[in-house]
Amino acid sequence: MDKNSKIYIAGHRGMVGSAVQRILEQEGYTNIIGKTSKELDLKDAVAVKEFFESEKPDVVIDAAARVGGILANNEYPYQFLMENMQIQNNLIDQSLKSNVAKFIFLGSSCIYPKFAPQPLKEEYLLTDSLEPTNEWYAVAKITGVKACEAIRKQFKKDFVSLMPTNLYGTHDNFDLKTSHVLPAMLRKFHEAKKNNEPVELWGSGTPMREFLFVDDMAKSVVFALENVLPEHLYNVGTGEDLTIKELAETIQKVVGHTGKIVWDSSKPDGTPRKLMDISKMHQLGWKHQVDLEQGIKKTYQWFLQNIENFKEVKI
């Protein structure tokens, strides 16, 4: 890939998109473009068409999505389904029509069935029912994966989908109503430390989860950019998981909270385990570099530096 190629990152201000831009710039890419949601509404097909006709990007990286945790998915199912489909459909369709050289679609491990065998292999897609608490988002992302696969099959274009495990890192969402488990925990432990209080967490602490630092995800995107990947769908993760209880204790250690952790077992646990099989990416030559405790330390440092900027996150 030429370092002067025009690369459009959709969602360049989000956690993943900003990390991708940061890593690309570190690698010497000089022609990166991005538009805020005020500058370009990706749900507006006409606006997206005009943008592609004007800018003519060589590469499109789709890191734009409406995202959130269990609470947000449950309360706004229509928005999570429809808005994500509108965003990705407009980007995929215009990328095809504009003959972009490469399209990289970013999704989530929630596309896989709730009780699929562990670790999750790419071929488990559409073999069983989804986790009900985020099926709206998952269905949208599945349609994006299948659209990219269809384009590869029909038009022989280099459209590839990367499905990350649970991501965390700098520029994450730390709002307690809409954030995912790791940033929510980090904020809870920080505030409990400040107020000298115990921390109450949902569930039993027994479910197992895998976490990937966002800069490692960004490096997998650059890897996909610089190589022709032979298949249409790849998992991206660490291949290692831990219990939610172990995660809580790791965050507690990093933050320096010394109080008690109280588990509210009346609250749902969600899927018992979600571990990604990442052997396909490993075989191609990509591997994560940042371990969990190191990544949490980097995230907490960023949180402390930016704490005034995310007091309230609007849904």
How many alpha carbons lie under 13 Å from residue 172 in its C-beta half-sphere?
A: 32
Q: Is the pLDDT of residue 203 over 90?
A: yes
In a domain, 196, yes or no: no
In a domain, 195, yes or no: no
d(CA 42, CA 15): 18
d(CA 36, CA 42): 10
**Confidence band, pLDDT 50/70/90 cuts, at residue 315:** very low
Burial 251-274 (b: 16+ CB within 10 A, else e): bbebbebeeebebeeeeeebbebb
**For residue 102, what is the enclosing H or E element?**
strand 102-106
Looking up residue 136, the CATH number of its domain turns out to be: 3.40.50.720
Q: Write down the pLDDT at residue 150.
A: 98
The structural domain count of the chain equals 1
**Confidence band, pLDDT 50/70/90 cuts, at residue 313:** very low
Q: Write down the pLDDT at residue 1.
A: 80
Residues marked active site are found at: 137
On whether 237 is known to bind a ligand per the annotation, the reply is no
User: Where in the sequence is the domain holding 58, given as residue range(s)?
Assistant: 7-172+211-241+274-290
On whether 34 is known to bind a ligand per the annotation, the reply is no
Q: Are 149 and 232 in contact (CB under 8 A)?
A: yes
In a domain, 200, yes or no: no
C-alpha to C-alpha distances, 95 to 51, 92, 266, nearest whole angstrom: 11, 5, 47
**Confidence band, pLDDT 50/70/90 cuts, at residue 314:** very low
Q: Write down the pLDDT at residue 312.
A: 46
d(CA 75, CA 21): 32
d(CA 152, CA 276): 24
Q: Are 18 and 12 in contact (CB under 8 A)?
A: yes
In a domain, 112, yes or no: yes
| Interval 54-91: pLDDT, tens | 999 999 999 999 877 677 777 889 999 999 999 999 99
In a domain, 100, yes or no: yes
SS3 304: helix
> Of the given ranges (68-72, 100-104, 177-181, 239-243), which has the lowest mean pLDDT?
68-72
On whether 106 is known to bind a ligand per the annotation, the reply is yes
Mean pLDDT, residues 173-192: 90
- Kindly give, in sequence order, each residue whose CB lies less than 8 Å from that of residue 205, ignoring residues fewer than 6 positions away: 243, 244, 245, 248, 263
pTM, 2 dp? 0.93
In a domain, 257, yes or no: no
Burial of 313 (0-12, 13-18, 19+ CB in 10 A): middle
On whether 71 is known to bind a ligand per the annotation, the reply is no
Phi, psi of 86 (to 5 degrees): -60, -45
Mean pLDDT, residues 233-258: 98
**For residue 72, what is the enclosing H or E element?**
helix 70-75
| Interval 144-169: pLDDT, tens | 999 999 999 999 999 999 999 999 99
Q: Is the pLDDT of residue 308 over 90?
A: no
In a domain, 263, yes or no: no
In a domain, 266, yes or no: no
